[in-house]
Amino acid sequence: MIEKCGKNLQMLECQANTNHDTPLHLAVKKLDSDIEQHQEDQTEAELHAIVQGLDRMTLRKTLPAVDGTGTPKLPQGSSEQQDGNIRPNDNHLDESPALTNVKLLVQACPEALGIKNGQNRTPYQEREHFLQELPSFKKAVADYAAKHESDKKAAEQRAQRILFVEDPIASYIRSYCIRNSKTREKTMTRLYRSGQERHIEFDLAGMPRSVVPSSYLEQLANHLRFESILKYVALPNMTIEPVQKQKRRERNPAPRSGVNAPRPKGRTDLIKVFDWLWQNGVREILKVMVVDNKDPPHADSAIVEALEGFKVEEWDWKRVDLCSDVISNASLFVREASLYASGNNAVMMGWASAEGLGNRVKFPKLEKVNIFVREGLEDSETWERYNRALKQGIEHHASKQRDGGCSEKAIDVQIIPDMNEVSFSSEFLNSDGYIDHDPAWITSVRDFATFLKQGANLQETEGKKVTPLRIAIIDDGIDATVSNIQHRIGGGATFCPYPHSSDLMNPYFAPSGDHGTLMAQLICRMCPDARLYIARLEELQTLKGTGRRFTATSAAKAVKWATDCGVDIISMSWTIQTAAPNSPEMEELRAAISNASQQNIIMFCSASDQGSHNTEASYPGNWNLCLRVGGATFTGEKLMWVEDSVEFWFPGHSAPLRSSDAKSTVYESGSSVATAMASGLAGVLIYCARLLGGSHQQSFRGQECITRAFRAMSSGNERKFPRTEEILSKKFKEKIKARNPRGTKKPDIASLEWNEENKKALEDLFIYIKRHCYLEHCEASKLQSAPAKVVSLQINMAEDLRNLHVAINNILANKPQAPLGPLRTRLIAPESFDSPSPAPSPTPPSPVAYGPNDTLLDVYIKESDSVEPLNQIPIKSLYEITRLKSLRSRQLSPVSLHDETSPRMQQPLRDLVSEGRLDLEDAERLTQIFLNQTDHFLYGIASRFKDLESIRRCSSLLFTAICTVSALHEPQGEALFDICSSELRRLISEFVFAAQVSIEDFQGLCIASFWLSDISWSVSSLAIRRAMEFQLARSFDLIVGDDTASGRSGSRLPLSNPDDALCCLRMWYLFFICDRHLSILYGRPSTFGDEVSVVKWQRYLDAISETSTDVRLASQIELLLILDEVIALFGIRSAVRIPVSFQSRLEGFNHQLDRWIITWGSRYDRRLSG
């Protein structure tokens, strides 16, 4: 049944009407039911056996690779569990029908792994939930916890975890997801709920230093939770600092058999790392990548000791001339091995011998070998002969079975010349810095925070624990080796893949730079008891190579993750500058930030530090969903490049910061530093409220409240720079003196005793701040009640500004100076004009046509344009209201390519090249790339053109669309893409109301609709509406010879020859194809109805001498019409269960599709061969 359903994936994704379970959800629950009813005793015994061996989990027994007969000793059965080796699918349930059914369902429809049921659980999460509800499961957990009364809760969690890891169903799904999910994001969503993710890789390749203390791993364990199977482990050349160089303390490594053996002379550092991974529950590592080219490298015995017991499948230990026995002794599960040869033929012959890599006893699973060979001392001919002998030797021995027969599967051997030293993809950067003394602004906050922490510690001894702050730092990660922040890490996640791989992920705790680390240090110095939640963003290098640029997609994921973690504050010390704020990626980021704002999370982001020279808006600040922070001096003077529009100024000039090695001082400047300062101060205020408790507990929650608090702490007209030394130091000391008249005249806040009087002084200060917050709120309310005439005032100001702007540019036109930039007085949203007027009066017309750079004046100038007169007919009223002047007296310009003397071809060019914004050389290159490479993939839209000049003469819109698409596909074309994309949007805006357009303009819109996904829906809708307005479909009548239709009065399609009509009809069909694709993709109704030209497409082919392009178009039309029938029957809701009675209809659609493939495949082949 499953195999039959596998032919129709929708049936395997259908969800029940009651609890929305898929067949896979039902399969995992059916297995639970079978266990409970029929195998209760046996299951309970197995569960108890597993938990009883839980305390021996740290043991890793040294197993010989083969026994005396040459047979591999594969760990299995109960002996594995006694030694702590937990291997998935090693119990009797492996062969159960239920597990078989789960495997069949997963393999037939992997997408079902990500579908959530009515309880918002995926199949994997459903499996965990039902296991925890089994009585036998609960009993095994309770029995184990009863033996560990000292820490019963932790014991329960350990037992639940190991039982779930051992479960064969969960183990299979877990392994399948990690191995086969196309993206890491899919793996995480299939396996874990948001905020409960486990790490599926361990990557220290970006370590900022090569020597780390032993305590580093223990600190990582405080915030890393590993899955039992890791996708990969990547380790650089690193040294674990011996214990004797640190503070003397006891360390209990995992007991290992053979630990009393003499230690080798080579390095052994990584034994500690893999021991630590084992202790933290890791049992399988799909790929091991280790750089081991120091002198001396790791000893053979150390490598075997480090990895034995793990199930390693891909071996990439980068040590030159490694003995093949090291690999087989460490793991018998290796499928792919990468080795590195110095060119020494003795070593290579050892690999090629009967005891080497081709030995099927030692390497029973090996499928592929990659050998990187250096030149060595030999000449090229000898080098090549050695390599051939190496390859042939391995393949020869691998082809033999133990009984002398031939192996079914040979080993693929690849010999790769290695002209460089063994290297790794990550760079290692070191930072420095130490602080001698802090400015007064920082000192006042730090001392105040120290006092708060003393109070919290005292209250904790009385059983009144203060809820720790949760602060998310979304940046480039942090260095978890830094002592003053490593114990503050509450959790972390990475959204930064390697640039060359979608599988490898840069960890959040080993960054390549130090920016995030410095921001974290600054926040920790200011804010007491903060738990840091670290998100590492994907970084791309800027075009100039001098800076970093975070991606909006990774930022959106990070904000969502931080929100799910329940943080109080999100600190974002960066900006994204873009000319396309409405792209899908930016909209995703905006939605994530908006959701965080609705959860009352306080968010700080940096202002742009490029000042007036920046022509692009910076986000997320420009969305007004975060508090935008700009840099200032420590005395409150705004840095000159910071815009006045930011919400607050915080110290961001020469801020002294400690480096990770705490040996020197670095001074950082910029709004990113100011953002961390703002996050730290906000944390201090929230923590103070929690410490005081009672009615103060919820104070300063949310951005509005913290904004008032910052304003209350500020002085001067701007009210943007909080004076911490005035409030947290001077004012607090006044409150202390008032409560303690006989106390010291100059109290030291950092060493102040926490007692009742000082606590009341703190409450007095808190009330003082809150009172000023209320006054700030009242002041803001007065400003919000401005008269309705403010709109008129804004319009007048905009008009005056516009006049000045034009006048100055006229003066500069004859001067060597550059003209002024665009007006920064942007358009106010249309809804701002909808406020009711106190008295009935004529309302100004709503702005209907505005671009991204329009000012208020532009809108009203457009609305005041003259309107041509209409007859006194009922439609006039509607016309006057909507101003649809663009729909009258329009004509489609004839295709101009065939007439070089047409007025359009003779007009002077006005485009990116003529205006000097795009070099002619770049334009030529981008155009040829599109014509020669890109255009073929989508029906040859511009195939009639052969050169740049003809395209530019015909349509600036077509030319700009071609350049935009080509720049999008160029690896280094970001700057060109921004220029072309901005111009394309401007031209599309002009096209909306253009009185005359050409077919080439429509071709440009068609190219944009197909290739530019961020604007495809909007552009295609616009193009189709205007195509209908210009009656592009009438070209069908001209092609098929319907003279009656084509000769109707009022036709706006003055096409006189068949070539022009055929060009228009092809364009019409392309818009139909694009529209149908988008409507199916987004589940929206199509713009096209039952259009005759579409339904009767066969007449189109019958009337012309068809080309391969016509065949492709017609085949797509027929396919989409078939899909229309499918959607008409089943709708767009894929989760709806399909009735059995619809089976015949499903088979009918399958027959139609089969017939479609056969018909059009052969027809297209004939057309190509003809």
The answer, yes or no, to whether residue 1147 has pLDDT greater than 90, is no
What is the C-alpha separation between 1068 and 1062, in angstroms, rounded? 10
Cα 762 from chain centre: 43
Residues facing 549 on adjacent strands: 540
Both structure tokens of 325:
């026995």
Predicted pLDDT at 263 = 61
Q: What percent of the chain has pLDDT over 70?
A: 72
Predicted pLDDT at 175 = 92
Q: Does residue 854 belong to any structural domain of this protein?
A: no
Contact 36, 1158 (CB under 8 A): no
Q: Between 843 and 445, where is the model more confident?
A: 445
Q: What percent of the chain has pLDDT over 90?
A: 20
Cβ atoms within 10 Å of 17's Cβ, excluding its own: 9
Q: What is the mean pLDDT of residues 496-524?
A: 84
Q: Tokens 């169903």 — which residue?
A: 169
What is the C-alpha separation between 387 and 393, in angstroms, rounded? 10
Q: What is the mean pLDDT of residues 18-34?
A: 73
Cβ atoms within 10 Å of 1143's Cβ, excluding its own: 12
Cβ atoms within 10 Å of 838's Cβ, excluding its own: 7
Dump pLDDT digits (tens) for 1060-1110.
788 888 888 888 888 888 887 777 777 776 777 887 888 887 788 777 778
Residues facing 453 on adjacent strands: none
Predicted pLDDT at 839 = 37
Predicted pLDDT at 813 = 60
Q: Which residues contact 445 (CB under 8 A, 6 or more apart)?
A: 526, 680, 681, 684, 724, 728
Residues 749 and 636 in one domain: yes
What is the C-alpha separation between 903 and 998, in angstroms, rounded? 13
What is the C-alpha separation between 448 and 730, in angstroms, rounded? 11
Side chain identity at residue 246, one-letter code? Q
Residues 953 and 993 in one domain: yes
The answer, yes or no, to whether residue 962 has pLDDT greater than 90, is yes
Q: Residue 703: phi, psi to the nearest 5?
A: -70, -30
Q: Are strands 201-203 and 232-235 parallel, antiparallel or unpaired?
A: parallel
Q: Does residue 813 belong to any structural domain of this protein?
A: no
Q: Between 232 and 1, where is the model more confident?
A: 232
SS3 letters for 417-480? ECCCCCCCCCCCCCCCCCCCCCCHHHHHHHHHHHHHHHHHHHHHHCCCCCCCEEEEEEEECCCC
Predicted pLDDT at 578 = 84
- Residue 1035: domain span: 1031-1170
Predicted pLDDT at 37 = 45
End-to-end CA distance of the chain, in Å?
Answer: 46
What is the C-alpha separation between 1039 and 1138, in angstroms, rounded? 42
Among 730, 754, 782, the domain-final residue is: 782
Q: Does residue 1014 belong to any structural domain of this protein?
A: no
Q: What is the mean pLDDT of residues 370-383?
A: 84
- For 978, half-sphere exposure in the C-beta direction (CA atoms, 13 angstrom radius) is 11
Residues 352 and 473 in one domain: no
What CATH number is associated with residue 289? Answer: 3.80.10
What is the C-alpha separation between 161 and 202, in angstroms, rounded? 20
Q: Between 429 and 1131, where is the model more confident?
A: 1131
What is the C-alpha separation between 8 and 17, in angstroms, rounded? 19
Contact 378, 384 (CB under 8 A): no
Dump pLDDT digits (tens) for 607-657.
887 655 566 778 998 888 999 999 888 888 887 778 878 899 899 887 887
Contact 613, 686 (CB under 8 A): no
Confidence of residue 67 (pLDDT cuts 50, 70, 90): very low
The answer, yes or no, to whether residue 449 has pLDDT greater than 70, is yes
Which one, of 384, 401, 398, lies nearest residue 348 by Cα?
384
Confidence of residue 369 (pLDDT cuts 50, 70, 90): very high
Contact 1164, 1108 (CB under 8 A): yes
Residues 108 and 90 in one domain: yes
Task: Output the pTM of the full model.
Answer: 0.52
Q: What is the mean pLDDT of residues 346-371?
A: 91
Residues 170 and 290 in one domain: no
Q: What is the mean pLDDT of residues 162-177?
A: 90
Q: What is the mean pLDDT of residues 1044-1048?
A: 43
Confidence of residue 787 (pLDDT cuts 50, 70, 90): very low
DSSP 3-state of 548: strand
The answer, yes or no, to whether residue 828 has pLDDT greater than 70, is no
The answer, yes or no, to whether residue 339 has pLDDT greater than 90, is yes
Q: Residue 934: phi, psi to the nearest 5?
A: -80, -40
Predicted pLDDT at 264 = 67
* Mean pLDDT of the residues in the chain: 76
Contact 410, 398 (CB under 8 A): yes
Q: Between 854 and 988, where is the model more confident?
A: 988
Number of domains in the chain: 5
Q: Which residues contact 219 (CB under 8 A, 6 or more apart)?
A: 480, 486, 487, 489
Confidence of residue 77 (pLDDT cuts 50, 70, 90): very low
Both structure tokens of 544:
């100039």
Q: Does residue 529 belong to any structural domain of this protein?
A: yes
The answer, yes or no, to whether residue 703 has pLDDT greater than 70, is yes
Residues 533 and 580 in one domain: yes
Q: Does residue 846 belong to any structural domain of this protein?
A: no
Residues 1119 and 1149 in one domain: yes
Q: Picking from 564-573, 726-735, 908-917, which range would have the lowest pLDDT averaged per residue?
A: 908-917
Both structure tokens of 1017:
């829906």
What is the C-alpha separation between 260 and 272, in angstroms, rounded? 16
Predicted pLDDT at 147 = 81
Which letter does DSSP use for residue 406 in this model? B
Dump pLDDT digits (tens) for 994-1013.
877 888 888 899 999 888 88
Q: Does residue 55 belong to any structural domain of this protein?
A: yes
Among 126, 156, 191, the domain-final residue is: 191
Q: Which residues contact 603 (CB under 8 A, 6 or more apart)?
A: 569, 570, 572, 593, 596, 597, 620, 625, 626, 627, 703
Which one, of 714, 764, 716, 709, lies nearest residue 737 by Cα?
764
Predicted pLDDT at 848 = 37
Highest mean pLDDT among 51-60, 421-430, 1117-1126: 1117-1126
Dump pLDDT digits (tens) for 225-253.
899 999 999 888 888 877 554 443 333 44
What is the C-alpha separation between 915 and 909, in angstroms, rounded? 9
Q: What is the mean pLDDT of residues 297-314?
A: 92
Q: Which residues contact 178 (CB under 8 A, 6 or more apart)?
A: 187, 191, 200, 227, 229, 231, 286
Q: Between 845 and 481, where is the model more confident?
A: 481
Helix extents (H) in 827-890: 856-863, 875-882
The answer, yes or no, to whether residue 779 has pLDDT greater than 80, is no
Predicted pLDDT at 1088 = 76
Q: What is the mean pLDDT of residues 861-884?
A: 38
Q: What is the mean pLDDT of residues 664-693?
A: 88
What is the C-alpha separation between 1119 and 1114, in angstroms, rounded? 9
Dump pLDDT digits (tens) for 101-123.
888 888 888 999 999 888 889 99
The answer, yes or no, to whether residue 971 has pLDDT greater than 50, is yes
Contact 416, 370 (CB under 8 A): yes
Residues 356 and 459 in one domain: no
Residues 1051 and 969 in one domain: no
Q: Does residue 820 belong to any structural domain of this protein?
A: no
Confidence of residue 8 (pLDDT cuts 50, 70, 90): low
Q: Does residue 805 belong to any structural domain of this protein?
A: no
Both structure tokens of 990:
């002009």
Helix axes 135-146, 152-166, angle to 10 degrees: 140
Please give the helix or strand (H or E) that residue 55 lies within, else none.
Answer: none
Residues 539 and 626 in one domain: yes
Both structure tokens of 618:
């910076």
What is the C-alpha separation between 433 and 662, in angstroms, rounded? 6
Please give the helix or strand (H or E) that residue 270 lies within, else none.
Answer: helix 269-279
280 exposed, middle or buried (CB, 10 Å; 0-12, 13-18, 19+)? middle
Dump pLDDT digits (tens) for 555-614.
999 999 999 999 999 999 998 888 888 889 999 999 999 999 989 999 999 988 765 556
What is the C-alpha separation between 471 and 680, in angstroms, rounded? 9
Residues 510 and 568 in one domain: yes
Residues 396 and 542 in one domain: no
DSSP 3-state of 493: strand
